[in-house]
Amino acid sequence: MKHILLLGTGGTIACKRGENGLTPLLTGDELLSYVPDAKAFCEVDALQVINIDSTNMHPKYWLMLSRAIEEHYDNYDGFVICHGTDTMAYTAAAMSYLIQHSQKPIVITGAQKPIDLDVTDARTNLLDSLRFASCERAHGVTIVFDGKVIAGTRGKKERSKSYNAFSSINFPCLAVIQDDRILFYIDDKWQDKRRVSFCHTLNDRVSLLKLIPSMDSKILDYMAEHNDAVVIESFGVGGLPSNDSVDFYETIQKWVSQGKIIVMTTQVTQEGSNMSVYEVGKKIKADFGLIESYDMTLEATVTKLMWILGQTKDPDRVKDLFYQTVEHDILWNMA
């Protein structure tokens, strides 16, 4: 029988209603009391790492989770992190970079409704997650939610209320869980023979600029001045405005020359970016060698930069590391 460690972080799954709305109160041990059927296939210990609304998630907590798993890695067959849904995709991506080549499963789950309600998705999600964490073929960081198993670098919350809140973006689901059975679509555990590695540093001086029509390029000035990297969410397949009233070209030129990292991505969820299509993207990328996220999720783009900048700020090295595929995070690389 598999031995699983459940790590509690709070979130809706652990909430109870208070005077000011739902707030995380239940511990990991209390969550487990709602899924007694798990005793049929695994033994579970609980560790309460933090107990927060996931809106308050921070890179320092990702490092805490990674350290907790590292400290207990040899003593358990798998790990389940109970987490709020709002920033779950960021945490799943971050853990994918902090813990690489794990032959043991590290599953992240949560719920749209608290586990103590009569009608909730929490008990199913938690039971499915414990089942997947107990599976011999499972490995690496994944999100398990609404019967889907999603690579940690490919998850995104696309619905704010529905049970099928999470999707796998630009990549197939790894598996599905139905009627207590796991059906794998991608079964690649045995392809990676490297030992698990843990990273202990993140650089959170990464910010996001979401373009809107008429935006002043001086906003980028401010963000680049106060951060080591800026991710720009552009329109469509990617480009930057340059006209009589707005000129991002000169702003990009200034900050790139000073060693700042500028990464281009798209506001469109599916199919990714390709700045070579239109003049507004092709010229500025060619002139300044901008990094492009292509088919990566925003969550993976942001957390990968934090992981990379925790190791180096050399622009060439940053670009090399960014385009190296980690846990299925980038496939379409035209760099």
Choosing from 9, 12, 27, 142, the catalytic residue is: 12
- For the chain, how are helix, strand and coil distributed in percent, rounded to 5? 30, 25, 40
Among 177, 178, 65, 54, residue whose Cα is nearest residue 112:
54
Amino acid identity for residue 113 in this structure: K
12 included as an active-site residue:
yes
Scanning 27-159, the segments in alpha helix (DSSP H) are 28-32, 59-72, 88-98, 122-133
Are residues 48 and 30 in contact, defined by beta-carbon separation less than 8 angstroms? no
Contact 292, 276 (CB under 8 A): no
User: How does DSSP classify residue 196?
Assistant: P
Q: What are phi and psi of 111, to 5 degrees?
A: -160, 160
Residues that are catalytic: 12
